[in-house]
Amino acid sequence: MNININDIYAAQATISPYAVKTPLLESPLLNKRLGGRLLIKAEPLQITGSFKLRGAINRIANLNQDEKAKGIIAYSSGNHAQAVAYAAGLFGTSAVIVMPKDAPKVKIEKTKAYGGEVVLYDRYTEDRTKVCARISEKRGLILIPPFDDAYVIAGQGTLGLEVAEQAEGMGLQLDAFLVCCSGGGLTAGCAIALNSKSPSTAVYAVEPIGFDDTNRSLIAGKIVENVAGANSICDAILVNRPGELTFPINKKLLKGGLVVSDDEALNAIAVAHDEFKLTVEPGGAVALAAVLSGKIDIKGKIIAVVCTGGNVDQDIFRKAI
Amino acid sequence: MNININDIYAAQATISPYAVKTPLLESPLLNKRLGGRLLIKAEPLQITGSFKLRGAINRIANLNQDEKAKGIIAYSSGNHAQAVAYAAGLFGTSAVIVMPKDAPKVKIEKTKAYGGEVVLYDRYTEDRTKVCARISEKRGLILIPPFDDAYVIAGQGTLGLEVAEQAEGMGLQLDAFLVCCSGGGLTAGCAIALNSKSPSTAVYAVEPIGFDDTNRSLIAGKIVENVAGANSICDAILVNRPGELTFPINKKLLKGGLVVSDDEALNAIAVAHDEFKLTVEPGGAVALAAVLSGKIDIKGKIIAVVCTGGNVDQDIFRKAI
């Protein structure tokens, strides 16, 4: 499976009638405090509140008529769920979304409001991939994977392509680009885009402490799983191991991984609110957190980070601000 | 004083290297609830957190070298203050900002951080225009008015021009455009832009109850002041009467005025946070509030509103969400 910049250009053409070209923002006051230039890709402004719409549209738009007629299925605790439910409606198909029973109520409700048929499962006693397989076998549905899929990776890569184009339009040469990382689909897509459009930009994956499987896998040179028992508020980006498709790309193209704490993510939410008037969820704030907490040196440099989503639990948001 | 679309095009060329072209957002879920299409111009994402940067840059960029050498002065309780302080630095001049002693501390601090020299006055015992006049006379400073100035009006009008261009780019014909209105500079600039670029779009000024001087002046056909003693949380848009320059433009070009309550503004802040991941201040939320509270019928229609700023007091924001 070889995904390249042309796949991302094709994805850009596919998604552009439906997705927001989110702005690349900066704050003069924050730049002054940091001693460098920090650019924020404001993806909470994306329709459905996260970048997940990009991959969902690119995957669903490229289904054939037979597949669309069958209907689709996806598993997700929130952002991919809303994106797939909404994108299904755009392309005249229907979506079953398998969600954990204890997912935030607002995410379940919004997934339904976007037209998704929500099937709840118990994540302590059931395996979501098995729940998915059982339903899709019975009803003949097409699975839309959250990250390990070439169309999904290319779709998420449009975010990196936009960042490269926007930075170029501002006359800026990015020293580094930091991406919030879970299964690694967004990271891989963005790494391909930056590597092609701006090869001197170092791309980093950013993860929460305890869920830094991509970081440790990069160090080990092979896929390593998380140690069981860790906890984090960064609900959107807690997977157990990098993807089979995404990791080889990330291993080849990333400069490295960075790891932040929940408190650092909370502080980043507060800064995004105060300096950028943007609502960011914890998992969407880890790349910003990495810069603010000094995990990478920004002095005299130009660094872009993506804030990936804004579907935040209200209690956590209140605590952060 | 005749301001036309060419002045706004010129302003657009002047501000574009410095100001964000903020996105025009929509929410499929909110549209479904409303039964129409609502587009939000997300101006809290503007540098300094409000549209005021547009007018400030256009006014200061058009000062001659002598004037820049003298330095500038402005009075404001917040958004114009930060915008002028920041814009002064962009064009190599310095700014004295006259602010009320009881302005939110964060706004005073940010104005200083942007490089402004802040002079505080007591708004219960002193007249800010007199404080300004005294200082500017003594130090030979150039006043940057908040709204009654052709360059300021043309600068704010770039927001309306962008909305018209963005709606056209989306293939949409706007039925109405609603603008948060204080002295009327943004409203007048936007009305000129829409009248030229999209003449079938009805433009409305939206104000808080008790500070609906533009609405009542439009009805009376002449400038009418507010009745003393009213109160509102919409601190950014509380002026006593329409501007001498702005009102004749608004009288000629507006379809009318709409008036909302503080509670309706608070609800609009919550909706902007939940559906658009955007932080909006009360005065910046009144246009959105007018649609959400049914002050204008959106069923089957396409309406754009501007959310003008996001420099919100934290207590009010917490109360709203």
B219 shares its domain with B134: no
**Which residue of A lies nearest to B280 if distances are taken between CA atoms?**
A277
Question: pLDDT at position B106, please?
Answer: 82
d(CA B51, CA B280): 12
**What angle (nearest 5°) sits at the alpha carbon of residue B146, between those of residues B203 and B289?**
40
B31 shares its domain with B107: no
Question: pLDDT at position A219, please?
Answer: 97
Residue B284's alpha-carbon distances to A23, A270, B234, B243, B279, in angstroms, are 20, 20, 8, 19, 10
**Which residue of B lies nearest to A18 if distances are taken between CA atoms?**
B170
pLDDT, one tens digit for every residue, chain A (321 residues)? 689 999 999 999 999 999 999 999 999 999 999 999 999 999 999 999 999 999 999 999 999 999 999 999 999 878 999 999 999 999 999 999 999 898 888 889 999 999 999 999 997 888 888 999 999 999 999 999 999 999 999 999 999 999 999 999 999 999 999 999 999 999 999 999 999 999 999 999 999 999 999 999 999 999 999 888 888 888 888 888 999 999 999 999 999 999 999 999 999 999 999 999 999 999 999 999 999 999 999 999 999 999 999 999 889 999 999
A175 shares its domain with A242: yes
B27 shares its domain with B153: yes
| Cβ neighbour number for residue A321 with a 10 Å cutoff | 18
B89 Cβ neighbours under 8 A, 6+ residues apart: B114, B115
pLDDT tens digits, one per residue of B4-39:
999 999 999 999 999 999 999 999 999 999 999 999
Do residues A35 and A299 touch, judged by C-beta distance below 8 A?
Answer: yes
d(CA B135, CA B57): 22
From chain B, pick out residues whose CB is under 8 angstroms from the CB of A277.
44-45, 49, 278-280, 310
0.90 surpassed by pTM: yes
B282-306 mean pLDDT: 98
Q: How far apart are the first and last CA of chain B?
A: 43
Give every strand in the sheet of B202-208, ordered side by side.
B24-25, B37-42, B302-307, B176-180, B202-208, B256-260
From chain B, pick out residues whose CB is under 8 angstroms from the CB of A273.
279
B62 shares its domain with B11: no
Picking from B107, B127, B143, the residue at the C-terminal end of a domain is: B143
Question: Where residue B230 sits, what CATH number does that domain have?
Answer: 3.40.50.1100
CA neighbor of B304 nearest in space, from B42, B38, B50: B38
| Cβ neighbour number for residue A221 with a 10 Å cutoff | 8
Do residues A111 and A85 touch, judged by C-beta distance below 8 A?
Answer: yes
Question: pLDDT at position A174, please?
Answer: 98
Among A22, A38, A277, A279, the residue to mutate for chain B (most B Cβ within 10 A): A277
Residue with tokens 């689909």: A185
Catalytic residue (one of A27, A41, A50, A52): A52
Q: 3-state SS string over chain B? A: CCCCHHHHHHHHHHHCCCCCCCCEECCHHHHHHHCCEEEEEEHHHCHHHECHHHHHHHHHHCCCHHHHHHCEEEECCCHHHHHHHHHHHHCCCCEEEEEECCCCHHHHHHHHHCCCEEEEECCCCCCHHHHHHHHHHHHCCEECCCCCCHHHHHHHHHHHHHHHHHHHHCCCCCCEEEEECCCCHHHHHHHHHHHHHCCCCEEEEEEECCCCHHHHHHHHCCCCCCCCCCCCCCHHHCCCCCCCCHHHHHHHHCCEEEEECHHHHHHHHHHHHHHHCECCCHHHCHHHHHHHCCCCCCCCCEEEEEECECCCCHHHHHHHC
Distance from the Cα of A108 to chain B's closest Cα (Å) equals 14
A238 shares its domain with A316: yes
A91 Cβ neighbours under 8 A, 6+ residues apart: A60, A61, A63, A68
d(CA A202, CA A212): 19
d(CA A165, CA A174): 11
What is the number of domains present in chain B? Answer: 2
- Letter for the amino acid at A290? A
B39-56 mean pLDDT: 98
Residue A27 a catalytic site member: no
Mean pLDDT in chain B?
95
d(CA B238, CA B281): 13
CA neighbor of B42 nearest in space, from B265, B309, B292: B309
Catalytic residue (one of A27, A50, A77, A182): A77
d(CA A191, CA A87): 24
B234 shares its domain with B126: no
Distance from the Cα of B22 to chain A's closest Cα (Å) equals 7
d(CA A106, CA A89): 20
Query: Does B26 sit within 8 Å of A23, measured CB to CB?
Result: no
| Tokens encoding A66 | 């037979």
* Domain extent for A222: 5-50+149-320
| Segment holding A142, helix H or strand E | strand A142-143
| Cβ neighbour number for residue A287 with a 10 Å cutoff | 33
Distance from the Cα of B245 to chain A's closest Cα (Å) equals 32
Residue with tokens 């021009």: B161
- Residues linked to residue B311 through DSSP beta bridges, in sequence order: none
A273 shares its domain with A225: yes
Question: pLDDT at position B239, please?
Answer: 86
Distance from the Cα of B256 to chain A's closest Cα (Å) equals 30
**DSSP-based three-state secondary structure for A186:** helix
**How many contacts does A have with B, using Cβ atoms within 8 A?**
64
Do residues B112 and B103 touch, judged by C-beta distance below 8 A?
Answer: no
Picking from A103, A121, A143, the residue at the C-terminal end of a domain is: A143
Which residues of B are the active-site residues? 52, 77
- Mean pLDDT lowest for which of A289-303, B8-22, B234-248, B292-306? B234-248
A62 shares its domain with A96: yes
Q: 3-state SS string over A41-64? A: EEHHHCHHHECHHHHHHHHHHCCC
Give every strand in the sheet of B72-75, ordered side by side.
B117-121, B95-100, B72-75, B142-143
d(CA B319, CA B321): 6
Residue B77's alpha-carbon distances to A119, B55, B239, B294, in angstroms, are 52, 16, 11, 30
Picking from B97, B113, B143, the residue at the C-terminal end of a domain is: B143
What is the rounded (10 degree) CA torsion for A303, A309, A313, A318? 40
Question: pLDDT at position A1, please?
Answer: 60
A139 shares its domain with A274: no
A235 Cβ neighbours under 8 A, 6+ residues apart: A77, A78, A104, A281, A282, A283, A313
ipTM of the complex: 0.94
Nearest CB to B23: which of A22, A279, A310?
A: A22
Query: Does A21 sit within 8 Å of B45, measured CB to CB?
Result: no
B106 shares its domain with B180: no
Do residues A260 and A208 touch, judged by C-beta distance below 8 A?
Answer: yes
Query: Does A21 sit within 8 Å of B21, measured CB to CB?
Result: no
Could you tell me if residue B94 is left (phi over 0), alpha (psi between -120 and 50 degrees) or otherwise beta?
beta
What is the rounded (10 degree) CA torsion for A281, A284, A287, A289? 10
A99 shares its domain with A34: no
Residue B126's alpha-carbon distances to A211, A234, B74, in angstroms, are 58, 51, 16
Do residues A11 and A155 touch, judged by C-beta distance below 8 A?
Answer: yes
